[in-house]
Amino acid sequence: MATQVIKISEIGDNLGTRKMGLELFNTLSALLGSGNKIVVDFSDVDALSHSFADESFAKLMEETTSLLKDGRLKFINANDFVKTILRKVIQDRMVNSRREFA
Amino acid sequence: MEIEVNIDFGTIHKTSQVVRLLSPCFELCAEDVCKLNIHLRPNLQYDLIYPEYLAVVVACYKQMKHVGVDIKLDIEHDPTNARVRYCQRLDFFKHLEYDTSERFTRHSSASRFLEIRQFSKQDNHDVFMEVLNIIRDKLNPSLELFALLVYCFWEVIDNIDIHSESGIGGILCAQHYPNAEILRIVFVDNGIGIAESMLRSEIADYSEHSELELVELALEKGVTSGKGMGNGLYYTKRFVEHNKGSSLAVLSSESLVHIDSQGLSTAKCANWKGTIVYLKIKTDNFVDYKAIMEDPDGDPNDKLVAFIDSLFE
């Protein structure tokens, strides 16, 4: 299994629109679908919006939960704010879609 | 059809006043005529012109141009007057395509304000990065405040991008008042408005709500037209509620919702085609983003939280 590192700061250091999130979702989804392990590096990223995080990471979780349970996605170098937003957004979407974590 | 609109900035002290004056412009069609008279004469009572007033006029002007209205514009102004120079510096005249002589030297805006800017889906990222650079470099906010500002502003821009269907894109303008430690920023669009966007939802039926109720609902958790989770404006509202001295006003179609640390108030107002989001941010307060992001009614799912936490290294 190949490991792909996605450096988020190459997209931007403050990440915003749903459209930008969708582009990242497509990239991550394709990599996971090809059997890769993904490491998402948030170094040099100050902040991100709810919309961006929802469209990219939360939807990825929702649509590929089974693939992600074996540790094929990791977040590194996220500051506290980014961590807070990611936790919040992923939780909101998963609860909304009633995913079960047995 | 021909109408005449007179805006005397010497009598204006609220954005809703400007909206009331401009509201008839949205009834006009191609080849109708609008005589738009703007007065910038000095006035001791209301000497300050806030950027949101100017942005609203610019948005209306561009919307009328967009639909093909014949605009006959006259701006009464004395180029030596300070408030006129301020309007010139914010590119008010330029956006209205009105020739005027500038009797001052333009210095960098980066210390205090962002000129009136029009943005679209194509360049909203670039325009917004300019705003963030001003905030980061000149206001020197705490990391927590900066991150929250990024978060809130992106939500508003994304709403314009995704929901508004605005023919002119968006209009943005910002001003920092260092003595008061206040940042004023306004986002204006001429789209379908919040209520109409929600009524078009394919996932929920909001038809039993009034327009004012829908604008208020749009600030609640999880209320969406279906294109998102509906939480962006909710957390923006919580940020303002937790940051004393700040406020958020959302004016959409004929409804106005205002929020500050004292609570929420609503009012009916004159029709604005689209939405105006105005934020006044106190920039010297400590903000606890974890408290803001906390869900007061939330019931944490331990397994889910453990799963999400397992993603971080």
Q: φ and ψ at B22, to 5 degrees? A: -90, -15
Chosen from A23, A39, A43, A51 to mutate, greatest number of chain B CBs within 10 A = A51
What contacts B43, CB < 8 A, 6 or more positions away? Answer: B9, B10, B11
Query: Among partner residues A16, A48, A96, which is closest to B229 by beta-carbon distance?
Result: A96
Please give the Cα distance from B225 to B205 (Å, whole number).
9
Q: Could you tell me which of A22, A19, A24 has the C-alpha nearest to residue A8?
A: A24
Contact B83, B9 (CB under 8 A): yes
Q: Which two tokens stand for residue B294?
A: 């906390």
- Using a CB-CB cut-off of 8 Å, the residues of chain A touching B313 are 74-76
Q: Looking at the partner chain, which of B124, B151, B229 has a beta carbon nearest the beta carbon of A17?
A: B124
Nearest CA-CA partner of B218 in B187, B229, B278, B203: B229
pTM: 0.88
Alpha helices, DSSP H, located in chain A: 18-33, 50-53, 59-63, 65-68, 80-96
First vs last Cα of chain B: how many Å apart?
65
Beta strand pairing status for B263-282 and B182-189?
A: antiparallel
Interface test with chain B among A8, A25, A28, A81, by most B beta carbons within 10 Å: A81
> Under an 8 A CB cutoff, do A99 and B303 touch?
no
User: Inter-chain contact A69–B307, Cβ cutoff 8 Å?
Assistant: yes
Question: What is the predicted pLDDT for the residue at A102?
Answer: 41
Q: Which residues of chain B does A46 touch, with a Cβ-Cβ cutoff of 8 Å? A: 143, 146-147, 150
3-state secondary structure of B116: strand
List of chain B residues whose C-beta atoms are within 8 Å of the C-beta of residue A81 = 143-144, 147-148, 289
Q: What is the pLDDT of residues A32-51, one digit of tens each?
A: 888 889 999 999 998 888 88
Which residues, given as ranges, of chain B have pLDDT below 70? 43-47, 108-111, 225-232, 295-300
Contact status, residue A18 vs residue A53, Cβ threshold 8 Å: no
Contacts of B146 in chain A (CB under 8 A): 46-47
Q: What is the structure's pLDDT at B290?
A: 83
- Does the distance separating the beta carbons of A17 and B151 come in below 8 Å? no
Q: How far apart are CA A27 and CA A21, in angstroms?
A: 10
Neighbours of B13 (CB within 10 A): 12
* C-beta atoms of A52 and B154 within 8 A: yes
- Give residue-wise pLDDT tens across range A46-71: 888 888 899 999 999 888 877 677 78
Distance CA A50, CA B73 (A): 41
